[in-house]
Chain A
Amino acid sequence: MRFFSTPRELRQRGVLGMNQRNVDFIMRYNPRKLYPLVDNKLETKRVALENGIAVPELYGVVEIEHQIQDIESILADHRSLVIKPAHGSGGNGILVINGRMGNYFRKANGSLLAIKAIQHHASNILSGMYSLGGVPDKAILEYRVDFDPMFEHISYQGVPDIRIIVFKGIPTAAMIRLPTRDSDGKANLHQGAVGLGVHLTTGETTWAVHRNNIVDQHPDTGYKTTGIEIPHWDSILRLATQCADKVGLGYLGVDIVIDRKLGPLMLELNARPGLNIQLATGHGLLSNLLKIEAHPDLPTELDARLDFAKGLHQSEDTSVV
């Protein structure tokens, strides 16, 4: 295989490039005034709760340095929780506490932290270390998702999440991001997580990519990643579509986790979803985006839209084979 593709080949495959994503989709369909809704995870949570969208429970917010003391009492009430910046991006600054051992707290990777280290992390978050542009931020303490057992064999520490791209109210692509030892439990592809494509119509996993290589098993656990049926698939699609409807962004990335007891929960929204999903699904985004954009009368009713989305992908399959 060659070292590169020609622009023509990429266009034939319907690959969406970064420049085109920015100019033709983000700038055109995402009004800037709606960005705070998704960039501030507290706002996202508020909108979600107002509209009956399931999200992880909020334990507390640290807004000023002084409140860092309160973390200790929150930790006393909840054995496990997640501390993350309200304005974080790319999964940076997220600290997952799994449990407690005496005076120490256990991180997702098993290492132990003193309460002081946790408070320092929160202080870093407040001073804007992880926020876009370094502006002062708030730290969110929330429920740590106890992920569905089906993911146990195909994920290493961390929480696997499902990323769905919704364009003009139609789900257009989906993948699961599996943390690996390589990614230090994070679910970001460029940090070494596995991207696992999900067939939008059936909710079945297809192939996977890890660090630009096509794989069919998890690099740490060795379990097969193809052909897994994602539980609650229809309600996941429904959840993603509802989120897009409520925040009003035309081109949106919705991150969903499946909790063992609570089912699908919306974790966060992204107004500038990355392009890696194309690698994970093996399909360019552009062809379906253009089809949706050019469609004269898109269905408005939710179920009809989901059917429309599934229809798009059915035809995509036949065109590939």
Chain B
Amino acid sequence: MNSFTVRSWALALSLIGLALTAYKAYELGLPLTPRQNTEVWTLQAQVSFEGTGAPAKLSLFIPENTPGFMLLDEDFISSRYGLTIAKDHDNRRADWAIRRAKGDQTLYYRISVARSNLKDDWKSKPDFPAAPDYPEPYASAIQAVIEDVREESADVESYTQELLKQLNSSEPNENVELIRDQASSPGLWANEIINVLKGVRIPARTIWGIDVTDAANDAQLRPLLQVHNGDNWLTFNPETGSKGIPTNLIVWKVGDRQITELEGGNDLAIKFSVTRTYAELIDVARQGAAARDSFFSGFSLLSLPVQNQNVYQLLLMLPLGALLVVFLRTLIGLQTFGTFMPILIAMAFRETQLFWGVIMFSMIVSIGLMIRFYLEKLMLLLIPRLASVLVIVVILMLLISLITNQLGIERLLSISLFPMVILAMTIERMSIIWEENGAREAILQGVGSLFVACLGYVVMTNENLMYLIFVFPELLLVVLGLCLWMGSYTGYRLVELVRFKDMQGKNIK
């Protein structure tokens, strides 16, 4: 019963931890390994106009909802202009204003985006449009097309698809040709289709985006057609009829209002450019965390200030070290000085590197031990003796630092990060075990502790683990689950298989 409860807890905690990790990895797109590179696209809109010396107001639609990409960074470069950002239905609009604009004026807007599996998020629900009064001869042509399409469709989606197929047919009939003649640009063509859809009272609109396949200095907005099926906006290419938002398109604005509008100036011009850079996925995730609306990203460690992040990066490795100790002690049966002492030593090794760390640890402990044996002869009280050992440990560390500084081995200067109190306690315990149980037992436990410290160092400095636990701290629940599980483990320890091996010998006799 007891062990069943423990195991249920262990299982539940582990599953919750893994589920959260999976959600973040696959739904939010956080990478599972560090140092994965990803493309970051930077899009820049350059708006320029000629000021007249009068007050000027300039508005620019800017991306709000970019399915397939996440917004990493956003810049407005508009030195003397006042800037407000307004939500406008499914759009976002930057409004710049200045009291006096004279001569050439240039403003920039820049965003960085990276691929993600962000879904679209258009919330607006359109009304059903009124069927327009088409002028003849278009009225009969449109009517004929509408009738043709209706026979081959069942709902809004299939209707739109069939309509686009017929209107874009390579062998158009005369009705279609008549409609096509109206449109001279992709934007006008999309509007023409919307006009036809109004005849069957399907709400439709255009969205405009920029292709990011290569770096470009004069990228163009291109239109896509969207129809509303009562629940969602469905996107179609007005020229090919293919469904969905192309994977390389970054949606910039919704609707066919002018992308930029100006009050109080002349010669308004806009130019888009696209550049591509590569960045580490984790940095992208770090930047994206702030920009995202997800419940989890708000609680992410990536949203902490950087110096706090560094502290947590270290602290989060402690549970892994503890897990290692639990494993080595309950499943293997290794003996160490103090339960978590090897883990604290391992933390110190992070700074000194393994090789020098082991050498210095052995050096301090053996010299300290020798002095401790002499202190024993002086017959001191316990606490003053412990304090003396502590002072001696500090002096030893000081000496090592000074000597290695003279020798120019800079790495050894970080010895100051060794946990002094822990070292002093280790020396004390080791000397007692030496006296009570003999040198063999003391050295065995000392080497055991050092071995665990080395293993701890290997685990706690593993970059993949550091990354995983930092980006997915919910894995701590899995660590907790494993600790609980091992806490109720009643099987044999590995060393017991050796310790009790003679038991079977007697059986055979």
**Contacts A3-B498, A128-B382, A191-B438; A19 near B503 (Cβ below 8 A):** no
Residues of chain B from 489 to 509 with CB closer than 8 A to chain A in the complex: 489-493, 496-507
Is A279 positioned at the interface, with any CB of B under 8 Å from its CB?
A: yes
Is B3 positioned at the interface, with any CB of A under 8 Å from its CB?
A: yes
**Contacts A10-B497, A117-B379, A190-B441; A15 near B492 (Cβ below 8 A):** yes
Contact count band on B: 20 to 34
Is A202 positioned at the interface, with any CB of B under 8 Å from its CB?
A: no
Contact count band on A: 35 or more
A267 to B382, CA, bound (A): 27
A5 touches B503 (CB 8 A): yes
A264 to B232, CA, bound (A): 90
Q: Which residue of B lies closest to A9 (CB)?
A: B504
B382 touches A17 (CB 8 A): no
**Contacts A6-B497, A15-B496, A190-B441; A284 near B503 (Cβ below 8 A):** yes
A212 touches B502 (CB 8 A): yes
Q: Chain B's nearest CB lies how many Å from the CB of A51?
A: 32
- A18: B residues at CB distance < 8 A: 333, 493, 496
**Contacts A120-B379, A129-B432; A19 near B498 (Cβ below 8 A):** no
**What number of residue pairs across chains A and B have CB atoms under 8 A from each other?**
101
Which of A90, A192, A320 is the one whose CB lies under 8 Å from B507? A320
Q: Which residue of B lies closest to A27 (CB)?
A: B2
Which one of B3, B438, B488 has the greatest number of beta carbons of chain A within 10 Å? Answer: B438
Q: Chain A's nearest CB lies how many Å from the CB of B346?
A: 24
Which of A13, A92, A212, A320 is the one whose CB lies under 8 Å from B499? A212
A4 touches B497 (CB 8 A): yes
**Contacts A127-B382, A279-B502; A20 near B438 (Cβ below 8 A):** no
A208 to B489, CA, bound (A): 31
- A10: B residues at CB distance < 8 A: 492, 496-497, 500, 503-504
A173 to B335, CA, bound (A): 26
Q: Which residue of A lies closest to B379 (CB)?
A: A120
B379 touches A214 (CB 8 A): no
Which of B436, B491, B504, B507 is the one whose CB lies under 8 Å from A17? B491
Q: Which residue of A lies closest to B502 (CB)?
A: A214
- Which 10 pairs show the lowest CB-CB distances between chains A and B? A127-B382, A20-B490, A120-B379, A17-B492, A282-B506, A4-B497, A5-B501, A13-B503, A4-B498, A15-B500
A7 touches B432 (CB 8 A): no
- B379: A residues at CB distance < 8 A: 116-117, 120, 123
Q: Chain B's nearest CB lies how many Å from the CB of A284?
A: 7
Is A294 positioned at the interface, with any CB of B under 8 Å from its CB?
A: no
Is A50 positioned at the interface, with any CB of B under 8 Å from its CB?
A: no
A278 touches B500 (CB 8 A): yes
**Contacts A23-B3, A120-B379; A279 near B500 (Cβ below 8 A):** yes
- A284: B residues at CB distance < 8 A: 500, 503
B489 touches A1 (CB 8 A): no
CB-CB contacts of A3-34 with B at 8 A, as 1s and 0s? 11111011001010111100110000000000
A212 to B491, CA, bound (A): 22
Q: Chain B's nearest CB lies how many Å from the CB of A26?
A: 11
A124 to B382, CA, bound (A): 6
- B505: A residues at CB distance < 8 A: 1, 214
B504 touches A13 (CB 8 A): yes
Is A209 positioned at the interface, with any CB of B under 8 Å from its CB?
A: yes
